[in-house]
Structure 1
Amino acid sequence: MKNINKTYGLLATLILLVSSCADFVDPVIPYKDFDTGGYLRTIDRTSDSFNFFDLPNSNFALILESVDANDGRDLVSVEVRVRHRRLIPDVGLEYLPELGVEDRLVLTLTESDFAANSESRFTRATFSIPAMDAIEAVGLSEDDIEQGDVFEFRLVLKDKKDRIFSDHNRSSDVAGGNFYDSPFFYNVTVVCPSDLDGTFSYVTTGISAGPGGNAGACGGTVSGEITLTQTSPAQYSLSDASFGVFGCAWGDTPPAGSLRLTDACGFLQFAGTDKYGDPYTITIVSNDGASLTFNWSNAYGDGGTTTLTSDDEDFVFPDNLRTS
């Protein structure tokens, strides 16, 4: 009986080994007969925004890699097409040309624009489209452009098999995967660059304090340093948005909370609230480039007149700053 069991055990072991080995055998699938496509890997987004203050010198620029079964050499052409988009408050998105109408051709790359490179076996191309070309392509002028406008650029790849690849027929993995990074679609926003981050010396006078505070403890003037830290392209956190008043009038730590200073194309205002839930207002008094003076207050009654001076001698407050 033991011998029979051993025989069955040996047979079972052999079956298991054969099954295990079978896992390493390539299945009989005709890979060579599969139809493969192509895509455009984004190697570098050299420039993907337009400067509202300098549209004539702004551009949309990419470095692209053509990927296909023939190392990118099946590419015939790449059309770069554009559409303008604007968000209208209380209305919605407005497109030019309208959705349903073909977007406008602004540039065509050909096979000759793609060349071998030292970093991969595929071919690469670099292109740059001036903002003014995109604006003209959609039928607008420089004066028509507003901060926050978006230009939608769409790539259309044609290969030697007369196939078309674009954002309409690519998968989500191809579009956003780290390996592929081939969206065929790029949003280029008209932005107002802001550069107010840094460390500043402050002097605050005309100090007021809300109920329970002691403005007199500030002695009429309080001074110190604050840091503005850029948290988004046009928004800054402040190390002390009370510019010393919370410390001297309340013996309290800085306002903190979600309070931010925003710079929307030169228009300064406070957004969010401090740790007590109070919003803040700001009104510019003067700006000579070296120093910025403004009145500020919060909903509780704290406030003052503060002058900021940068610790960087090369820093200049932009002359377009305003609060009304």
Structure 2
Amino acid sequence: MRFIFAFLAMGLLTIASCEDDGGDSVISLNEGAVPNILKVTGSNTFIDLIALESGEETTINFTVDKGQGNIASMDVVLFYKTGTTVYRTVLESNLTTFPKAYSLTQFDIIEAFTELNSAADFQVGDVLSVSADITLTNGSKLNILNNDATPNFGQDIANSAVYKVFQNYIVSCPSDLGGTYDFVSINIGEPGGFVVPGPETGTVTFTDNGGGVYAISDGSFGGWEALYGPPGASGVTLIDICNTLSFGGSDDYGDTYTISNVTTSGSNLSFSWSNTYGEYGSTTLTRTDGTDWPDLTN
């Protein structure tokens, strides 16, 4: 059962985290320096593809501040990911006055990246990431994201509720999938071969994080409770990019999720889900607010 193994693994990770490997390949809170990068409340949480295609100006607003540690200065860094290609540029070097607010239009983003030439280069699903490279008062340097925009920090930083070390802006369309829905899940299985035919019923909540990203109250849609007992899977997100769905984030044990066979019919949204641990199931969500789901796919 995954919960026993996960408990043992957590103990091993705790022991490992107390050791010093002599390097700085992965930043942890023990090194004590992180930025705090926040989207401005009420501002755009994504790069609006509809506005880009119609020639309208679209703006993102964020602030860069010290999160924790003896920080002397920061370089504010932008990453632009399109497909599997990642571009990197420094928006501002040697920032020493905090906090600082930034407002970027699509024209500012194009100017920042030599690889972008016009609004036509923004493609649905592209991601702009905002982060920082830190110089400490002792002269040490820490990069929050690697050159390919992958995290260079541990789970303690990733799970912090106090600060955010980077922000993502997805090139997407307006999305409105937040709410609480009834679910029915069937044919729930785990890698050992045990299957719960169901139906398992309950409710699940999609909390709007902005930019078409929604925190899911239970990413297993009752599956974990059916297989092992409560609680459900936290940490999984639903991503809506112009009515195309995918899962993001990872569950309590670091497993990622895949969505497939997405269909909509009036107030019902049906799909299959699976994760990298080998659990799976099929779920139907029903709206009770009197509206229908948009035409969603995967």
Question: TM-score per shorter chain, which class?
Answer: 0.3 to 0.5
Of structures 1 and 2, the larger Rg is shown by 1
Q: TM-score scaled to structure 1, two decimals?
A: 0.44
